[in-house]
Amino acid sequence: MQIPTQSILPNPQQPRTEFAETKLQELADSMRVNGLLHPILVEEGVQTLNCDVCSSAYILIDGERRWRAAKLLGWRAIEASIRPAANGTGALERTILALVANLQRADLNPVEEGRAYESLAQMGISNAAIAHRLGTNVNRVAHRRAILALPEELQDLMAANLLPIDVRVVAALELVPAEQRVEFARKLARPGLKIKSVQVAAQKLRDALAAARVEDEPAVFFAHRRAGRPALPTWDALHQLGKLPPWPGVIDAARRTCRACELREEASAVVCSRCPAVTMLVEMIGMSHEH
């Protein structure tokens, strides 16, 4: 059945977010010569959507690239298969149908796939149930969802297949202090990188940081090292203006905090990486250099 291209709304549950312009133009050129070889799939009736064209609109389930290419060509209508509107489970069914269609064509990058699985999980579906509905295995679902725990820069590296897609890689990266994690991953990233290589490199860095000689109470030592410079005398000039406490008092408070810490004997760059005292001192050292 031919339906107007302007009456079609993108699937709000579409897991795919990247549509390369060059590939889209290539598809449009092919459709101009050969026509549409496979109809798109839409869902009728979108009363649940808040829009001005709901009475005549369809939700796109499969074929967004073909629909976009048709619009590039200026087609006013496109051949479509129409499925009845889902009652009460529309979002779930649209997500699953779009996922299946994309997975069968290997159109999703790992991050898009993980986000789609996560959206299903947020609807109350377990990893095992997701795997069963989509015809995949539960490890793949778990590994793709684990990617989402990483910073976006690391997600991008996995999406580009420059880091292995595995929960063991996520766990290894979390051994690296947060402020060094992205740079560490960038140095390792390459096609064909092995899981074991990431694990070994992360453990070596952790061991090196843990073995670093602590020459003062940990909060003071690691704050100076993270800041890359000592506190400047200008701090006490600011104190004289009534803007800041005296620097020796700040250092003394940090040292007393360390001595009272239950982890004092285990102090290292890794253990102390999230210590509020370290973070506070780094910010104060920065303030001293700003003035």
pLDDT in tens, 71-124: 989 999 999 888 877 655 566 777 777 777 666 565 678 888 888 888 888 888
How far does Cα 59 stand from its chain's mean position? 27
Helix (H) or strand (E) holding 64: helix 64-72
For residue 33, the model assigns a pLDDT of 84
Q: Evaluate if residue 149 carries a pLDDT over 60.
A: yes
Cα(200)–Cα(190) distance, rounded to whole angstroms?
Answer: 16
The whole-number average pLDDT for the span 186-195 is: 94
Helix (H) or strand (E) holding 222: helix 218-227
* Residue whose C-alpha is closest to residue 60's, from 10, 15, 94, 124: 10
Cα(14)–Cα(171) distance, rounded to whole angstroms?
Answer: 29
For residue 150, the model assigns a pLDDT of 87
- Order of strands, edge to edge, in the sheet holding 58-62? 2-4, 77-83, 40-44, 58-62, 8-9
- How many CB atoms are closer than 10 A to CB 164? 19
Average pLDDT over the chain, rounded to an integer: 78
User: Residues of 81-109 as b/e, b for ≥16 C-beta within 10 angstroms?
Assistant: ebbeebeeebbbbbbbbbbbbbbeeebbb
Go through the chain and tell me how many residues it has.
Answer: 291
User: Which tokens hold the place of 199?
Assistant: 């694990």
In terms of average pLDDT, the best of 51-65, 112-126, 217-231 is: 112-126
